[in-house]
């Protein structure tokens, strides 16, 4: 599903962010990406969805080389990926419903279908009764769940989550993690970046550990 082949990334004028990264995620796999701040977790995520371009190596997504895509083709790549951000990236001047509907509006779906799928998506994250609220009226955990609803509304094959629990307490973080596990059980490939080791303890999931831009550890950790 996702394959990195000797990928390196250097930001212009800075130190290398990623060095010679190689790994492979199978379809339907749930994986954590761990590492200290600045280890390159976000950069790796951004490389997958074409927000950054690798300086070296190949990134294959469903067999397509991401770095060979033209700029005009990038939007179509991003539509196949559900992205969740630490700062949720919600539109504050739009209702929860509108926020979740954006990916479908971009696709030009008919209004009936949008209504049905947005409701289903919000139902899944437990926010169906807050459809008409504005993000500012919601708590941090709820805002993050709106972001998740938006990411899954188009039923992507891949979910990328960059520190989705970064600002949340332990209870909310666990809820969100459970949500991701539910999606994973329906066959979605999930890659979640986190530095919260306590959260992913006792989980039988694969862990990729980044350290100063290098892949240190690729293991199924069990404490």
Partner 1 sequence: MFNFNRNKNRQQGHSPNSNKLHMTDDNSFFARWQRQISYAWRNVLNDFLQHTLAYLLTIIVIAISITLPTIGYLLWKNASEAAHQWSPSPNLTAYLNKNLTAEQTEQLLVKLRSDNEIEKVIYLSREETLDEFKSWSGFSRALDLLNDNPLPAVAIIIPNDATKQTDALHTLQSQLLKITGIDDVRLDDSWFTRLTALTNMVKTLVWTVSIFMIIAVSLVIGNSIRLTIFARRQTIAVMQLIGATEGFILRPFLYSGVFISFISAILALILSEIFILQIDSIILKVSSVFGTVFTIRGLAWDESLLIIFLATIIGWLSALVTTKKYLKIVRIA
Residue ranges that bind partner 1, judged by CB under 8 A: 50-53, 71-72, 74-79, 83, 85, 89-93, 102-103, 105-113, 116, 150, 154-155, 157, 186-188
Between the CA of residue 169 and those of 79, 140, 173, what are the distances in Å?
30, 10, 6
- Smallest distance from partner 1 to CB 211, Å: 27
Q: Output 28 or 199, the one with its CB closest to partner 1.
A: 28
Q: What is the spatial distance between Cα 30 and Cα 155, in angstroms, rounded to a whole number?
A: 16
Tokens found for residue 99: 């926020």
Q: Output 34 or 143, the one with its CB closest to partner 1.
A: 143
Q: Output 102 or 131, the one with its CB closest to partner 1.
A: 102
Q: What is the spatial distance between Cα 198 and Cα 20, in angstroms, rounded to a whole number?
A: 28
Tokens found for residue 25: 């995620």
CB neighbourhood size of 131 (10 A):
17
Q: Output 34 or 85, the one with its CB closest to partner 1.
A: 85
Q: Output 116 or 132, the one with its CB closest to partner 1.
A: 116
- Smallest distance from partner 1 to CB 66, Å: 11
- Smallest distance from partner 1 to CB 73, Å: 10
Tell me if 220 sits within 8 A of 206, measured CB to CB.
yes
5 burial level (CB within 10 Å; 0-12, 13-18, 19+): middle
- Smallest distance from partner 1 to CB 46, Å: 9
- Smallest distance from partner 1 to CB 130, Å: 19
Q: What is the spatial distance between Cα 14 and Cα 12, in angstroms, rounded to a whole number?
A: 6
């Amino acid at each position: 599903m996702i394959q990195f082949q000797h990928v390196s990334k250097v930001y212009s004028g800075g130190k290398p962010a990623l060095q010679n990264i190689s790994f492979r995620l199978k379809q339907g796999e749930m994986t954590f990406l761990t590492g200290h701040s600045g280890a390159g977790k976000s950069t790796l995520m951004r490389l997958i969805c074409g927000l950054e371009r690798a300086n070296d190596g190949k990134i294959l997504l469903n067999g397509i080389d991401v770095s060979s895509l033209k700029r005009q083709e990038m939007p179509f790549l991003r539509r196949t990926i559900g992205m969740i951000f630490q700062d949720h990236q919600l539109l504050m001047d739009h209702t929860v419903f509108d926020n979740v509907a954006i990916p479908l509006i971009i696709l030009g779906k008919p209004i009936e279908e949008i209504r049905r799928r947005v409701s289903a998506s919000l139902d899944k994250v437990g926010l169906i009764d807050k459809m008409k609220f504005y993000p500012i009226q919601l708590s941090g955990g709820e805002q993050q769940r709106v972001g998740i609803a938006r990411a899954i509304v188009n039923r992507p094959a891949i979910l990328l989550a960059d520190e989705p629990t970064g600002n949340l307490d332990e209870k909310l973080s666990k809820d969100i993690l459970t949500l991701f596990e539910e999606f994973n059980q329906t066959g979605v490939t999930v890659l979640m970046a986190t530095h919260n080791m306590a959260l992913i303890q006792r989980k039988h999931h694969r862990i990729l550990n980044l350290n100063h831009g290098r892949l240190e550890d690729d293991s199924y950790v069990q404490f």
